[in-house]
């Protein structure tokens, strides 16, 4: 198959893929939001396409849905260009994606996000939709805490000061954007943002008063040393974690349902 993106396929190709056993669809939610002075608003969407298609390939028998954007980005609204959906609108879109793919006969649905602000709502949706469609395996990807833990590990692997991969327009995101297309990155505009741990009062401020109250340029981390080779390592590491997490959830679902059939 040419690629695993549903939006690039024709309907006969999709039907053929399903007949050949492609029963899983990977749905990524992203964002349209500020990513500091050096990265474009499309950053999470571009990452979402890369992650979704790669993940579909890793899972096998899986196709990737058009990446959903905008997402839930209230804390980025202090910067021009960011869009945030009302939570009920976002939820409605994700639910309609799920309904469509179930209608077409997919048996497993993965809900994942390339934007931190969507994670919690996706988990709620997965839980509700699983109850509504017990015959379909609906799971989410890595939880946000594990993404945060992975970012700490990425700093350690690369021997970087803690917080360099701070999670937003940081060394991690910038390096992967360079891997996708160096033209995305305004290299002369790369600037260090907030570098440090984000917990307690600061985390509260981040979400309630907005990213700008913690980093006036909208960057969490230090992207000034970003490069595509690092981007490749970050990407492979994260995708392996994601793959492992989802395969485990598939297995748990299969076991649970095998019991129910007994």
Binding residues for Zn ion, rule: CB under 5 A, are: 43-44
Nearest to 68 by CA among 1, 3, 7, 142: 7
> Least CB distance from residue 43 to Zn ion, whole Å?
5
Nearer to Zn ion, 76 or 249 (CB): 76
- Tell me how crowded residue 28 is: count the other CB atoms within 10 A of its CB: 31
> Least CB distance from residue 83 to Zn ion, whole Å?
14
Nearer to Zn ion, 24 or 43 (CB): 43
Nearer to Zn ion, 44 or 222 (CB): 44
> Least CB distance from residue 28 to Zn ion, whole Å?
12
Q: Is 50 helix (H, G, I), strand (E, B) or coil?
A: helix
> Least CB distance from residue 235 to Zn ion, whole Å?
14
In this structure, what token pair is assigned to residue 30? 């992203």
What span, in angstroms and rounded, lies between the C-alpha atoms of 230 and 235?
Answer: 8
Residues 6 or more apart whose CB falls under 8 angstroms from that of 162 comprise: 152, 155, 195, 196, 197
> Least CB distance from residue 146 to Zn ion, whole Å?
17
> Least CB distance from residue 10 to Zn ion, whole Å?
32
What span, in angstroms and rounded, lies between the C-alpha atoms of 104 and 107?
Answer: 9
- Tell me how crowded residue 27 is: count the other CB atoms within 10 A of its CB: 23
In this structure, what token pair is assigned to residue 239? 């995708």
What span, in angstroms and rounded, lies between the C-alpha atoms of 233 and 154?
Answer: 9
47 burial (CB, 10 Å; 0-12 / 13-18 / 19+) is buried
What span, in angstroms and rounded, lies between the C-alpha atoms of 34 and 43?
Answer: 9
Nearer to Zn ion, 102 or 176 (CB): 176
Nearer to Zn ion, 166 or 228 (CB): 166
> Least CB distance from residue 47 to Zn ion, whole Å?
7
Nearer to Zn ion, 43 or 113 (CB): 43
- Tell me how crowded residue 3 is: count the other CB atoms within 10 A of its CB: 13
Nearer to Zn ion, 44 or 171 (CB): 44
| Residue facing Zn ion at closest CB distance | 44
């Amino acid at each position: 198959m040419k690629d695993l993106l549903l939006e690039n396929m024709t309907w006969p190709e999709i039907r053929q893929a399903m007949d050949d056993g492609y029963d899983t669809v990977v749905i990524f939610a992203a964002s349209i939001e500020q990513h500091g002075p050096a990265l474009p608003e499309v950053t999470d969407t571009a990452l979402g396409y890369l992650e979704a298609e790669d993940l579909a390939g890793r899972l096998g028998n899986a196709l990737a849905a058009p990446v959903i954007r905008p997402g839930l980005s209230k804390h980025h609204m202090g910067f021009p260009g960011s869009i945030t959906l009302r939570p009920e609108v976002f939820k409605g879109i994700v639910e309609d994606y799920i309904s469509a793919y179930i209608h077409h006969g997919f048996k497993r649905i993965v809900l994942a996000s390339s934007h931190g602000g969507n994670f919690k709502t996706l988990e709620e949706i997965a839980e509700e939709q699983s109850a509504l469609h017990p015959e379909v395996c609906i799971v989410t990807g890595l939880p946000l805490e594990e993404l945060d833990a992975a970012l700490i590990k990425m700093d350690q692997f690369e021997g970087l000061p803690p917080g360099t991969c701070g999670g937003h327009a940081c060394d991690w995101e910038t390096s992967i954007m360079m891997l996708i297309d160096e033209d995305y990155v305004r290299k002369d505009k790369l600037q260090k943002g907030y570098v440090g741990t984000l917990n307690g009062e600061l985390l509260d401020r981040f979400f309630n008063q907005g990213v700008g109250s913690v980093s006036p340029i909208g960057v969490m981390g230090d992207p000034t040393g970003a490069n595509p080779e690092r981007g490749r390592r970050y990407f492979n590491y994260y995708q392996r974690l994601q793959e492992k997490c989802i395969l485990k959830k598939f297995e748990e679902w299969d076991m649970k349902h095998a019991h129910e059939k007994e």
